[in-house]
Amino acid sequence: MRTLNIGILAHVDAGKTSLTERLLFDHGAVDRLGAVDTGDTVTDDGGIERRRGITVRSAVAAFTVGDTRVNLIDTPGHSDFVAEVERALEVLDGAVLLLSAVEGVQARTRVLMRTLRRLRLPTLVFVNKIDRPGARTDALLEDVRRLLTPHVAPLTGVTGAGTKGALVVRRAPDGGTAEALAEVDPGILAALVDGPEPTAGQVAAALAARTADGSFHPLFHGSALGGQGVAELVEGLVTLVPAAAQGTAGATEPRGTVFAVRPGPTGERTAYLRLYDGEVRPRRRLTFLRRESDGRRTEVSGRVTRLDVVGGDATLTAGNIAALTVPGGLRVGDRLGEPADRAPQFAPPTLQTLVRAVRPEQAAPLRSALLALADQDPLLHARPAASGATALLLYGEVQMEVLAATLAEEFGIEAEFTPGRVRFLERPAGTGEAAEEMPWLDRTRYWATVGLRVEPGPYGSGGVFGYETELGALPRAFHQAVEETVHATLLTGPAGAAVTDYRVTLIRSGFSSPLSTAADFRGLTPIVLRRALARAGTVLYEPYLAFEAEVPPDALAAVTALLASLGADFTGTTGGDPAWTVTGELPARRAREAELRLPGLTRGEAVWSSRPSADRPLKPGR
């Protein structure tokens, strides 16, 4: 059986979850149609998600059409949960981008389409809510071509749009489809220019090929609640989106990606794994590669104690998805074998906040709860801070609100968050060394000898620890104490920011048996390390965002003046009709101000999108 892993993406409230429920119900995967309003949907299974009516975490469900199994991945629409969307995109074979026939093309829709086209992911457009008052069809198609992409053609039409009796009518690819395809398909272009005109079969073949390579987008109409047009959408998915790759023939080692994690009722973590090569059976021992928040790479090994393949198979094969449990727990982003060909789009959060328990007696439980949540989600970095607080990295205010509700409902903890601020980083500026001998030299009270060298590491390498001493010169517990303490100490550098992209080398070591303990090495290492780091020096870096702003022509001067005043470096200005597109890089700490002021300068017509870019040294006086 062939498999399709399909993501459903949209602006908030466009109907993602409703469409998922309709697809599952129409194909017998569920026996009743859930609704967001009544809180009984399959994929939004958290109480917070149901009350807010937004999807916070990716969820997976499946249905079968003929010989094709479709795994649906319902993704968040709110920008604060962009990391969830990016995780899902890595494991998809295709996507459905939803639009509301009433609200039309919205800001988040445009951002999502840019991402999908950049990844060349096969994408079908579904215009939802055709039976709602105010629904538009032809005018909305023009908006799609103007605001999303010109490379689109409708494969359905609508009669009675905007009424409860709205019906969907199939439309075979015609001359208009051929003309649209000619912009991305040389064969169709040559046939239209030189003749003879392309046949219906040639147009259909070009439509399938260009959809498969992500350069063209078939458009369908329908209603997730009423069911109109859903059958046509499913037919388009099955016929136009290529099946999941089945991996390398004869591959013996499995290769895959963990893209979602859900907590179980007894505290265990269930991981969703997309497999690219090989196969996984219950009780098989697997080794996952993990990148820690400070950049270090570690391994997680264990036997599969639970394996639930989406669709019910006993064995997870290449191209499919399974929920599995491994002792010790897996995290989002853990990789089985070598990384997949499609690089992950994990945008790191840059908003930092401090969290404290409202009731002092809940300080310890709060920290444990936050660390547990961060363990499920590696992009939610959590670490202890001063005065019993916990420092968190987040994407935005809505994510903060959802986290507060989660703490209250799942852990019974009321927490307060400080206003978010942009997180800075430090990097070593040079090389520095320091050492301390054992206490008979009257230098320290620790029965240990530690010498360390600190030097810059490659950009993006995180923290690396190495040895120049002989590995057997210290007991393993002492080596481990030094390495763990090095990484923990560098969570705060001389300027108060976390240190990254460093290499620390143990250049001298010694102990006295039986007096020395691991505690001696944990106590002495920070003293030596800070001294070596002071000699190396550090440079403070601030995060930048690469931005793209679409603005009306008469607002271009005002917008560029605003961005320049906020410290933007421009990389391009293109277009002119119907809008100018301005691109550049901006300090992340000024991006929120830009987003808030743009609507007033553009009558609400501006569309802003941004993504993390390389950080830069903080300029003096900034």
Question: What pLDDT does 327 receive?
Answer: 85
CATH of the domain at 600: 3.30.70.240
Q: Are residues 303 and 383 in the same domain?
A: no
Residue 501 CB partners (closer than 8 Å, separation 6+) = 295, 427, 428, 456, 457, 458, 459, 460, 461, 462, 463
Residue 459 burial (CB count, 10 A): 10
Q: What is the pLDDT of residue 49?
A: 39
Residue 511 and residue 555 in one domain: no
Do 382 and 328 belong to one domain?
no
d(CA 173, CA 209): 14
Q: Which of 367-381, 430-444, 448-462 has the highest mean pLDDT?
A: 448-462
Q: Does residue 44 register a pLDDT over 80?
A: no
74 HSE (CA, 13 A, CB side): 26
CA-CA distances (angstroms) from residue 618 to 351, 352, 426, 539? 17, 17, 10, 8
396/142: higher pLDDT? 142
The answer as to whether 247 is a domain residue is no
Nearest to 311 by CA among 7, 26, 60: 60
End of a domain among 336, 367, 393?
A: 336
Place of tokens 């009984």: 40
User: Above 90 in pLDDT, residue 597?
Assistant: yes
Antiparallel, parallel or unpaired: β 94-100 and 382-384: unpaired
The answer on 216 and 114 residing in a single domain is: yes
Predicted model pTM? 0.71
In a domain, 246, yes or no: no
Given a cut of 80, whether residue 516 has pLDDT beyond it is yes
What percent of the chain is modeled with pLDDT above 70?
85
Highest mean pLDDT among 227-241, 266-280, 356-370: 227-241
Is residue 522 scored above 90 in pLDDT? yes
Same domain, 448 and 419: no
User: Is residue 214 assigned to a domain?
Assistant: yes
- 187: Cα within 13 Å, side-chain hemisphere: 11
User: Does residue 609 surpass a pLDDT of 70?
Assistant: yes
Give residue 348's pLDDT.
60
Q: And the tokens for 419?
A: 């206003």
Look up residue 291 and give its DSSP letter: E
* Average pLDDT value for residue range 550-563: 93
Q: What share of the chain is helix, strand, coil (3-state, %, to 5)?
A: 30, 30, 40
Q: With respect to residue 248, please indicate whether it lies within any of the assigned structural domains.
A: no
Cis previous bond, 514, omega within 30: yes
Q: Who contacts 545 (Cβ-Cβ below 8 Å, separation ≥6)?
A: 585, 586, 587, 588, 591, 610, 611, 612, 613
Lowest average pLDDT, out of 117-126, 250-259, 541-550, goes to: 250-259
Using the structure block, give the residue that is written with the tokens 């393993």. 476
For residues 87 and 176, membership in a common domain is answered with yes
**Domain range for 544:** 540-617
Q: Is 216 a residue whose pLDDT tops 90? A: yes
Nearest alpha-carbon partner for 541 in 589, 591, 609, 486 = 589
CATH code, domain carrying 273: 2.40.30.10
Would 345 be classed as within a structural domain? Answer: no
| Burial class of residue 201 in the structure, from the number of CB atoms within 10 Å of its CB (0-12 exposed, 13-18 middle, 19+ buried) | exposed
Q: Are 41 and 50 in contact (CB under 8 A)?
A: yes
CATH of the domain at 61: 3.40.50.300
DSSP sequence for 59-78: EEEEEEETTEEEEEEE---S
Residues 466 and 324 in one domain: no
Q: What is the mean pLDDT of residues 209-231?
A: 94
Domain shared by 519 and 566, yes or no: no
Domain boundary pick from 387, 404, 423: 423
Question: Residue range 21-36: average pLDDT?
Answer: 78
pLDDT of residue 530: 97
**Of the spans 133-142, 362-371, 391-400, 403-412, which averages the highest pLDDT?**
133-142
Query: Quick one: pLDDT at residue 293?
Result: 59
Query: Residue 371 domain-assigned?
Result: yes
Residues 275 and 201 in one domain: no
According to the model, what pLDDT value does residue 53 have?
37
Residues 228 and 273 in one domain: no
Q: Can you give the CATH number for the domain in which 460 is found? A: 3.30.230.10
Do 298 and 167 share a structural domain? no
Instruction: Decide if 287 contacts 334 (C-beta within 8 A).
Output: no
What would the pLDDT profile of 98-149 be if each residue is shown by its tens digit? Answer: 999 999 988 778 878 888 888 899 999 999 999 999 999 999 999 999 888 9
Residue 21 lies in a domain: yes
Q: What was the pLDDT predicted at 375?
A: 62
**Shared domain check, 148 and 50:** yes
What pLDDT sits at residue 595? 86
CA-CA-CA-CA torsion sign (244, 249, 250, 251): negative
* 112 located within any domain: yes
The stretch 490-509 carries a mean pLDDT of 92
Average pLDDT of span 443-463: 87
User: 60-74, 192-206, 335-349, 449-463: which has the minimum mean pLDDT?
Assistant: 335-349
CATH code of residue 381 = 3.30.70.870
Residue 462: what pLDDT?
82
User: What's the residue count for the chain?
Assistant: 622
DSSP, res 146: I
Is the CB of residue 170 less than 8 Å from the CB of residue 234? no
- Check residue 48 and give its pLDDT: 37
Average of per-residue pLDDT across 18-24:
89
The answer on pLDDT for 37 being more than 70 is no
State yes or no: pLDDT of 392 exceeds 70. yes
Which backbone phi and psi does 144 adopt, to 5 degrees? -60, -45
Which token pair is 167?
A: 């019906």
Stretch 455-459: mean pLDDT: 92
Q: End of a domain among 515, 536, 557?
A: 536
333, 353, 378, 398 from 349: Cα distances, Å: 15, 11, 10, 14
Instruction: State the total domains in the chain.
Output: 5
Tell me which residue of 152, 195, 124 sits closest to 187, measured CA to CA: 195
